[in-house]
Amino acid sequence: MAVGLGLSIGTVNTVSALAEEGSAKAPPGRRSAAERSPAITRRTTLTFDSTGMARVGMIPRHGRAITEFADLTQRTTLRARVGHRALSSADLVAVVAECLITEARRDRRAVEAGIALTHPAGYTDDHVAQLRAALDAVALGHVALVAEPVAAATWLEATRGPIMPGLALVYDLGGSTLDVTLVRVGAGCPRNPIVGVPLRSPKFGGRAFGALVAERAGTGVAAASLSGAVTGTTADALRTEHVRRSLELVYRCLGMADVTMADVDCVLVVGGAARPIEVSQVLAGELARPVITAPDPERTIADGAAIMARRSAAAVEEAAGVPHRRKHRGSHRSAATRALLLSRRTRRRLTKVAIAAGMSAACGAFALALPADSVVVGLSQLAVR
């Protein structure tokens, strides 16, 4: 049975998810949290011990945690030196992926899993090449690289499909940025389904909203008291304003693709900062299109990548001639058992042969020879049945 592992390494959080065969076949809205494939979320941080071993998601009391390395579009210098090796941002992302894969393989289901790692759609060919080279350097050449909105669209089709051919607007509100991308969905999609130019802005991410809250709370309020200074109706109003202002990026993305909202079939909302209900409410009201949000929008991209990895693994198994588990169990049946399982259609055909030949009950000693991979059955025995 094919299994896929999807990895989404964001600037703030990292999500890893498993997808097994049949895990996305339940009707929309019918899958509880317990029925969804396993997923793990961590902070995107790296620490190295004295032996050079890396750990993901830890904030040590003493020492330094490496952060803010996951976005390769940022102009940064080398982030870490482990032993005699200087690690670039792409190298650090590859180290995180290696740690997550090693951990996932402790689960026997994921030992032979296909693996897909997502990246922002705005990465240039050079960024993707850097990431590919970093993965190859740690023996992860088999890991597929997938654009984040493409993985999100895969989740949409797998969980809400079948979908008519059309356009989906992927609104990815993460911890540090907002990414807006138009993606073709449904049958007949091209290999690269992204339409126009993906746009990214740090002005509308979760951090930007936190800065807005701090600004409205006033400079005289301590940082520890910000959550209590701006709460309830005020916080909802601020978030509504924040999301409404982000529509300028949406309309710019539409304009660059030479389409309007009338050409868009649905809006898919993903990202950790998209959990509050105000996000989907504002988008539905302002854009007047169906808005789709997963129960946990932070894991949508990782889930979609896992589904893509599972499909690739299944295709490899099929090409290699790996039999399905059910067929594998049936292959162990003995010839005697198979003889008892002759189909009714075969019995009827053999009976007709006996009647046409004018055989009577006295011909009980007569036998009809079947092909070598079948069995020899007495015609009189078939007739009495």
Contact 363, 355 (CB under 8 A): no
**At 209, is the pLDDT very low, low, confident or very high (cuts 50, 70, 90)?**
confident
pLDDT at 319 over 70: yes
Contact 21, 4 (CB under 8 A): no
pLDDT score, position 328: 42
Q: Please, what is the end-to-end C-alpha distance for the chain in angstroms? A: 40
**127: nearest Cα among 135, 231, 270:** 135
Interior angle at CA 59, CA 91 and CA 101, nearest 5: 45
**At 356, is the pLDDT very low, low, confident or very high (cuts 50, 70, 90)?**
low
Two structure tokens written together for 63: 């020492």
3-class SS letters over 282-329: HHHHHHCCCEEECCCHHHHHHHHHHHHHHHHHHHHHHHCCCCCHHHHH
* Burial of 339: CB neighbours in 10 Å, binned 0-12, 13-18, 19+: middle
Residue found under tokens 């898919």: 268
Interior angle at CA 58, CA 54 and CA 59, nearest 5: 125
pLDDT score, position 74: 83
User: Of 75-79, 265-269, 369-373, which gets the smallest average pLDDT?
Assistant: 369-373
| DSSP strand pairing (85-87 vs 46-48) | unpaired
**At 37, is the pLDDT very low, low, confident or very high (cuts 50, 70, 90)?**
low
C-alpha distances in angstroms, 185 versus 148, 170, 299, 311?
A: 14, 11, 20, 17
Q: Which of 286-290, 313-317, 326-330 reaches the highest mean pLDDT?
A: 286-290
pLDDT at 335 over 70: no
Helix (H) or strand (E) holding 384: helix 379-384
pTM over 0.75: yes
**DSSP type of residue 30:** -
pLDDT at 162 over 80: yes
pLDDT at 109 over 90: no
pLDDT tens-place string over residues 179-199: 999 999 998 888 899 999 999
pLDDT score, position 50: 80
**Considering only the top CATH level, what class is 3-318?**
alpha beta
What is the b/e burial string over 245-259, where b = at least 16 CB atoms within 10 angstroms of the residue's CB? ebbebbeebbeebeb
**254: nearest Cα among 200, 199, 210, 292:** 199
d(Cα 209, Cα 233) in Å, to the nearest integer? 15
DSSP readout, 98-149?
Answer: HHHHHHHTTSGGGTT-EEEEEE-TT--HHHHHHHHHHHHHTT-TT-EEEEHH
The domain ranges of the chain are 3-318, 333-384
